[in-house]
Amino acid sequence: MTVENKTAIRIWGRLSSSNVQAVLWCLAELNLSFERINAGYIHGVVDTPDYLAMNPNGLVPTLIDGSGPPLFETGAILRYLADRYAPESFWPYDPVERAQTDKWAEWAKINIAVKFTVPVFWLVVRTAPLLRNPETIATNLKNLEKYLRVADDRLNVHQYLAGSDFTLADIQMGHCLYRYYDIAIERPNLPNLRRYYDLLSTRPAYREYVKTSYEELRATDD
């Protein structure tokens, strides 16, 4: 049984952070009201004593639910929200069934998000053109492709990553795909992955919180 969101959720983090996007997408999918405070990168805040008291890493996102203690680390925040507020279809109540969803959520974080965000996105977008190393980017893309093919095979027999329902695993997997398909890279033909991305793009929360501009992150040679 889900719990009604009666207390205010506050989340610190900039819209251009993919980790923040994952949490915002999850909040919206669960129909939870929240207040977002801009923080991180050019927006500051994360190096202030008050923020560091909540999150000693000085990173985003950080979330506080009502009068509860601060939460940081995206995966932990997502699981907390799912545990407290999600329907069974999104985060199964049975521990054996939940583990199957959690398995794919963890797989997506480790093998897609981690292998895309810094090894590819940072080197293509957040690195000035004159400093980019095409060979390194190509090697990293090849490494990522191996796992994208696992997802493509999985999505050949399932509508969503963990099965027939949209789940937490899709938040962990799907929040990277807008940037993957938007940036200037060569991509293999993975028809099931593309179908999946197009399906996620029909979700209003995905369009609002994931398919957003990352131009403030783009490095130039100036």
pLDDT tens-digit readout, 5-49: 666 999 999 999 999 999 999 999 999 999 999 999 999 999 999
Q: Where in the chain is the domain with CATH 3.40.30.10?
A: 9-85
DSSP reduced 3-state for 111 = helix
Say what the pLDDT of residue 134 is. Answer: 97
- HSE at residue 24, side-chain half, CA atoms within 13 A, is 27
Interatomic CA distance for residues 210 and 200, integer angstroms = 10
Q: Which fold has domain 95-211?
A: Glutathione S-transferase Yfyf (Class Pi); Chain A, domain 2 (1.20.1050)
Residues with Cβ < 8 Å from 71, sequence gap 6 or more?
62, 63, 64, 65, 77, 80
Reported residue count of the chain is: 222
In the chain the first and final C-alpha atoms are separated, in Å, by: 54
- Cβ–Cβ < 8 Å for 53, 80: no
**Which residues on adjacent β-strands are paired with residue 34?**
9
Say what the pLDDT of residue 6 is. Answer: 61
Output the CA torsion 151→215→122→211 (10° steps). Answer: -10
What top-level class would CATH report for the domain 9-85?
A: alpha beta
Per-residue tokens: 8: 């205010």
Say what the pLDDT of residue 76 is. Answer: 98
Interatomic CA distance for residues 188 and 90, integer angstroms = 30
Residues with Cβ < 8 Å from 21, sequence gap 6 or more?
15, 175, 209, 210, 212
Nearest to 38 by CA among 53, 26, 48, 29: 48
Say what the pLDDT of residue 108 is. Answer: 98
Say what the pLDDT of residue 7 is. Answer: 63
Interatomic CA distance for residues 28 and 24, integer angstroms = 6
pTM above 0.75, yes or no: yes
Say what the pLDDT of residue 222 is. Answer: 81
Q: For the chain, what is the mean pLDDT?
A: 96
Residue-wise burial string across 58-95, b where 16 or more C-beta atoms lie within 10 A, e elsewhere = ebbbbbbbeeeeebbebbebbbebbeebbeeebbbeee
Q: Which residues of the chain have pLDDT under 70?
A: 1-7
Q: Where in the chain is the domain with CATH 1.20.1050.10?
A: 95-211
